[in-house]
Amino acid sequence: MYAIGCDDGERLQADLVFDGLMPPEPLTAVGSTFGSAHHYDQLGRVTGKLVVHGERIAIDCIGMRDRTWGRRPENRPRQAAYVTGAADASNGFLAVTNTRPEGDMIAYGFLRRDGETVGLDSGERHLERDPEHGWVTKVRLRGRDNQGRELNAIGTPVSRLIINRHTFIDINSLMRWDLDGVPAWGEDQDMWPVHRWARKRRERTA
């Protein structure tokens, strides 16, 4: 458990607590964007409040946190995605994908079902994109964990923000998921090297 606080005057105030719902899941694959760095991911319940431009918003949701230690060169990052979802404390997923000519392949992640967390063995992320702006409008995620359990999630963004992280563009969408027929919420972080995103946008406007 840990607390998060922020006071940005009239614009934003945050008073939140993260309480883990599962032990931190360590990185077990080196083929993802995290490489061989020390890394973990953990689903937890976030409670507290936000005050945004004077509007008070009560928070009680499930979110993913991750932490990385070690060298992870940022000068030419690969195109990748960090995708999460949770229906409740016992059911959720993480998928970290790499972009390939044949599609976005899951390099690392886990499926949490009925309180049991098992690493993903394989899977794919299929996308629909806005033809004008390029951001994601629909995600279909299919995977299989090391025990043979299937992951099937279809997600639609309900909001998004675009973060320029120096060497890559992160289009971070809040997702409403259909997780094996059950409503769930999470994120789709669609990450692009700046040069590749810029080229894509130039091709669209040419």
Confidence of residue 76 (pLDDT cuts 50, 70, 90): low
Q: What's the rounded Cα separation, in Å, for the pair 69 and 35?
A: 11
pLDDT digits (tens, 9 = 90+) for 94-152: 999 998 877 799 999 999 999 999 999 999 999 999 988 999 999 999 999 999 999 99
- Structure-model confidence comparison of residues 74 and 136, the more confident one: 136
3-class DSSP string for 53-106? CCEEEEEEEEEEEEEEECCCCCCCCCCEEEEEEEEECCEEEEEEEEEECCEEEE
Confidence of residue 171 (pLDDT cuts 50, 70, 90): very high
Q: State the chain's mean pLDDT as an integer.
A: 91
**Cα Rg, the chain, nearest whole Å:** 17
Q: Which of 5-9, 22-26, 96-100 has the lowest mean pLDDT?
A: 96-100
Return the pLDDT at 27.
79
What residues are paired with 59 via a beta bridge?
48
pTM: 0.91
Nearest in space to 43 (alpha carbons), one of 72, 21, 11:
21
Nearest in space to 168 (alpha carbons), one of 116, 109, 115, 99:
99
Return the pLDDT at 206.
46
3-class DSSP string for 164-187? ECCCEEEEEEEEEEEECCEEEEEE
